[in-house]
Amino acid sequence: MERIKLSIGEMQERKNRIIGLINKYSENCDHDGMMMMFDDKAMCIECAKAMRKDLFNITGH
């Protein structure tokens, strides 16, 4: 796998977008069942799966 070199600004932007995704999915999750935690934010498994698809668009893996 080839490594991609990113600038500090690009890494910070990705980090902010990932944190935004976690916040968006945890705030909008009002489901019951098994929960997952990300940075002290909880969401159900289904929301975590949906977030993973959006996360792929940011990270590429």
Number of domains in the chain: 1
Within a domain: residue 45? yes
Within a domain: residue 51? yes
Which DSSP category does 2 fall into?
-
Within a domain: residue 20? no
Within a domain: residue 49? yes
Within a domain: residue 19? no
How distant, in Å, are the alpha carbons of 10, 22, 32, 33, 61 from that of 1?
Answer: 20, 27, 39, 37, 11
Within a domain: residue 52? yes
What is the per-residue pLDDT across 4-61, written as a single tens digit (0 to 9) for each?
Answer: 787 898 889 988 998 898 888 888 888 887 888 877 888 888 888 888 888 888 777 6
How distant, in Å, are the alpha carbons of 3, 30, 35, 52 from that of 61?
Answer: 12, 27, 23, 10
The model's pTM: 0.69
pLDDT of residue 1: 56
Domain ranges, residue 46: 26-61
pLDDT of residue 16: 92
pLDDT of residue 36: 83
